[in-house]
Amino acid sequence: MEKQLVQLRVNGELHDVAVTPNETLVEVLRERLELTGTKEGCGEGACGTCTVLLDGKPVRSCLTLAVEVQGQEIVTIEGLAKGVELHPVQKAFIEHGAIQCGFCTPAMILTSKALLDENPHPTEDEVRRAISGVVCRCTGYAKIVEAVLAAADSM
């Protein structure tokens, strides 16, 4: 299995990385680029903690091969804040106590951001459907939904 050089655009920055074909995007993000905000939970696509945005849409980075995403825009949780200025969704999560253990938080925030980019004023049902692919094992869903709706109002 030969390594191949791929160019990944992550949070607006280009990275040249030599990867083997069996390396998943979450492995490359965490272990090569040291962007450990993206979590690997189940590794089978079921839990959603590894969510990143690929060309603006939430996908599972544990089921995405790094060699297949060259030329696409990848956004991780590290890419949302502008310097010390947090993204409105991040602020709303803090203000509404939508974080408990924090393991699902990057995925919840990225998924919510993608929803609000497409649909700036979602209904509660639309928020629930959008985040339905991410599991919060602390079961703090009510606060998360409140935070996303509040972020929509503030943006």
Q: Which residues bind another protein (CB under 8 A)?
A: 1, 20-24, 27, 43-46, 48, 51, 54, 57-60, 62-65, 67-68, 111, 129-130, 132-135
Q: What does the radius of gyration of the chain's CA atoms come to, in whole angstroms?
A: 15
* Residues 54 and 60: beta-carbon distance below 8 Å: no
Would you say 21 or 97 has its CB closer to another protein?
21
- How far is residue 11's CA from residue 19's CA, in Å, rounded to a whole number? 19
Would you say 60 or 96 has its CB closer to another protein?
60
Token pair, residue 16, equals 């040249």
- How far is residue 146's CA from residue 133's CA, in Å, rounded to a whole number? 17
User: Least Å distance between CB 26 and another protein?
Assistant: 10
User: Least Å distance between CB 119 and another protein?
Assistant: 12
- How far is residue 138's CA from residue 56's CA, in Å, rounded to a whole number? 27
Would you say 91 or 133 has its CB closer to another protein?
133
User: Least Å distance between CB 118 and another protein?
Assistant: 10
Would you say 59 or 150 has its CB closer to another protein?
59
- The single residue listed with the structure tokens 């459907």 is 129
